[in-house]
Amino acid sequence: MVPAPARVIVSGKHHPTRASSVNTASVESISASTLATENDLFSSALKAGRAGDRREAVELLNVLIARFPNSPLKVSAESARAKMSESIQSVQ
């Protein structure tokens, strides 16, 4: 009698690792962990601006840009900060 061959188990979830997928995954996990904070800062800044407290809005946008320089909100934050700063200067 011949013994049955050993059973090989292959996981369908295993994918070959590529450098680009590893870099993307690590960036996504970092971004996902701070995205709520980034959104809160941006939202608070816009809310302060709508309420007329443009100095507070600029400060919050500065914090966002300084703490999260690679944020997907960076360009929007810089644009909003420029508009808020412009309106502060026009009032003075």
Residue 27: its H or E element: helix 19-50
CB 88 within 8 A of CB 54: yes
Burial of 54 per CB tally in 10 Å (0-12, 13-18, 19+): buried
Of 62 and 9, the structure prediction assigns the larger pLDDT to: 62
Enter the pTM of the model.
0.63
User: Could you tell me if residue 6 is inside a domain?
Assistant: no
- Mean pLDDT across 43-63: 96
Domain hosting residue 80, numbered range: 22-91
pLDDT score of 30? 53
Residue 5 structure tokens? 């061959």
Residue 60: its H or E element: helix 54-67
What's the CATH number where 63 sits?
1.20.58
